[in-house]
Structure formats: C-alpha cells, structure tokens
Amino acid sequence: MQLDKLKDRILDGYDISYEEALLLIKSPLNELRECADEIRKVKCGNKFELCTIINAKSGRCTEDCKYCAQSVHYKTDIDEYDFLGDNEITQSALSNEKAGVDRFSIVTSGRRFNKKDVDKLCVTYRKLNKKCSIDFCGSLGLLEYEDFIKLKNAGMSRYHNNLETSRRFFPYICTTHTYDEKLHTIKEAKKAGLEICSGGIFGLGETMIDRIDMAFTLKEIEVKSVPINILNPIKGTPLEHNEPLSYDEINRSIAIYRFILPNVLLRLAGGRALFYDKGKSAVNSGVNSAISGNMLTTYGIETKDDIDMVRDIGFEVSNE
C-alpha cells in the first residue's frame, strides 16, 4: 500500500475502507505515524485540548468490567465514597481551570447515576458554569434521554461513555451490561444535543482487528472525542497479569485510528504514565488531546508537565 497516496486521498475527504485499514497493520511504522500526524495537522490544526476528571463517586460498582478496580466483584485496594459535595467538585474545577485545561469532567462509579442524584448534579453543573469559563463533561453510566436533557440544560456539553473494545470482544470483558446498551446510551445523549466522547482500552487481550472494528463503530456513531486508554493492570482484577503492549503496537494502533477518524479529538487517556516518555511518541502518532492529571484510581501526569510537553512538540494550548 502507498501510504502517501492514501493519506492524500483522506486529506481530500476520502473515507478509508475497512479493507484498507486492515492493510495498515503491516505498513512501515515510521511512515504510518508521519502520515497520521500530517492528517492530524491538516484536519485538526495545532490546538491541543486538555481535560481533567474528578472521581466524584468511587467504588462499589455492581458491574463486572474485568479491568476495573471499582467493581464489587474484585478485591482491590481503592478508596470508596459516595457522591462528593458541591464545594469539593467546584474547588477541583477552579484549580484545574487555573492549571490551563479546556474541560472538566465529573465521573461516577456504578451502572448509572440514579435519577434523584441526577437532579442534584444539575445543581452542581449550574454552579460550575457560573464560577468557571471552561467546558464541562460527564461520565455517569447508562443514562436515558430525559437525564441528558436535564444535564444539557444545566450546562454539561459532552458526555463520555466508552465502548471499551469491539462488539466481538466486549462479552469477554463485561457480562453485566451489553454493547447495545452502551450504544443506546450514546444515541440518547446525541439526541439530547450533547457531544460524545467514546473510545476504549488497548491491552485487554483484544486483537488489532478488534481495535479497528471499534474505530469503525466510533466513526459510524460520529463521536467528537476518542479517548485511548492503555491497560494499567490493577492487582485484584481478572486482567492483573495481562502482558503490556509494546510501544510500537500502541503507536501503530493510534496512527491507524487517525487514518480512520481524521477529524476527531484523538485523546491519550489512562495508562500513559507507564510510558518512558509520558506519551510524547504517541502524541506524534496523530494525537491532539489528552486527559491530564490523575485518573479514576491510578496516578496520571501533572497538567503543567503535559502543557510543557505538547508545547515542545509544537501545539498550541489554552493558556498561551
């Protein structure tokens, strides 16, 4: 395959086919990454979007996602607590805004945030929007259309719900909810007028073909932001002994995603603190956004360090 010609066609508006995407698995890695980064530059520009999250309700989740430390099905050493109060969430949002992020997301454990707490959370979003100028997201589980309407009216602009992997591989990762339930949630959020943030985790035991399948599903449902997590095996979970992916395979996967999804915010997320360069090489494979700071139950990278890194690469960041 001539990567330059395929890249040029994509830059002219062509949508890569599934068969062409599969051929990228064997393409020369350095050339693939260079082409992916050029696609990013032309299609998305040099603005780098940084977001942070707050783990606003931790642990005691009834779902059995095999990578997750928050599941009641596994014995892991994490903090467990109920929904945080307005003051703690607001102070975190203000601190992150000062650090230079573009977005702040409230994340809660569990199958779904209950309807009574959704109403409480709407009060929190209204307070946040009065005190902060950044944008707000949420990751609250398998909500329904009426919940999304309330949250959008309260000031949430983007909803996060990861597919995690391909439809084929998903039942090996979770049995307490289905792929179709996730897709339904995403479609209801879109119907309510929210942007969608949805991606997955590399290193669950899936194949490269599974990753490509997920990318085409994300393309079909027209997501705005695609977080790419790298599995950080957590002791006590069923995946604690998974072999880590090589950095070359991670970079190849990211570059292929940019070929398939030329216009999205391709976002480095959890697990990149494990990289020797904190993700700099991955950014150069077509990435243009990241989750900064700590993740849900693992440590991340300081926002200042992320800003320094992406500026060094040549990106523009919000506080420039």
- pLDDT at site 300: 63
pLDDT band at 110 (very low <50, low <70, confident <90, very high): confident
Residues 6+ apart with CB under 8 A from 274: 230, 232, 244
Q: What is the chain's alpha carbon radius of gyration, rounded to the nearest angstrom? A: 19
pLDDT of residue 58: 81
pLDDT in tens, 198-235: 999 999 999 999 999 999 999 999 999 999 999 988 89
Mean pLDDT of the chain: 92
Q: How far is CA 196 from its chain centroid?
A: 10
In the predicted structure, residue 107 carries a pLDDT above the cut 50: yes
Q: Model confidence over 178-200: pLDDT tens digits?
A: 999 999 999 999 999 999 999 99
Q: 271: left (phi > 0), else alpha (psi -120 to 50), else beta? A: left
- With helix as H, strand as E and coil as C, how does 167-195 read? CCCHHHCCCCCCHHHHHHHHHHHHHCCCE
User: Among residues of the chain, what percentage have pLDDT more than 90?
Assistant: 72
Q: In Å, how far are 110, 242, 260 from 41, measured between CA atoms?
A: 38, 34, 15
User: How long, in residues, is the chain?
Assistant: 320
Q: What would the mean pLDDT of 256-276 be, rounded to a whole number?
A: 93
Q: Which residues pair with 301 in a beta bridge?
A: 293
pLDDT at residue number 297: 47
Residues 63-83: tens digit of each pLDDT: 899 999 888 888 887 777 888
The values of phi and psi at residue 186, to 5°, are -60, -45
Determine the pLDDT at residue 225.
97
- What's the pLDDT tens digit per position in 282-298? 999 999 999 987 545 45
User: In angstroms, rounded to a whole number, what is the distance separating the alpha carbons of residues 262 and 16?
Assistant: 10
Asked if 263 contacts 43 with a C-beta cutoff of 8 angstroms, the reply is yes
Q: What is the pLDDT of residue 163?
A: 97
Q: Which of 48-62, 143-157, 244-258 has the lowest mean pLDDT?
A: 48-62
Work out whether the CA dihedral 78, 83, 85, 91 comes out positive or negative.
positive
DSSP letters spanning the chain: --HHHHHHHHHTTPPPPHHHHHHGGGS-HHHHHHHHHHHHHHHH-SB-EEEEEEEEEBS-B----TT-TTBTTS------B-PPPHHHHHHHHHHHHHHT-SEEEEEE-SSB--HHHHHHHHHHHHHHHHH--SEEEEE-BS--HHHHHHHHHHT--EEE---BS-TTTGGGT-SSS-HHHHHHHHHHHHHTT-EEE--EEE-SS--HHHHHHHHHHHHHTT-SEEEEEE----TTSTTTTPPPPPHHHHHHHHHHHHHH-TTSEEEE-TTGGGSTTTTHHHHTTT--EEE-B--SSS--B-HHHHHHHHHHHT-B-TT-
User: Which residues, in sequence order, are CB contacts of 87 under 8 Å at separation 6+?
Assistant: none
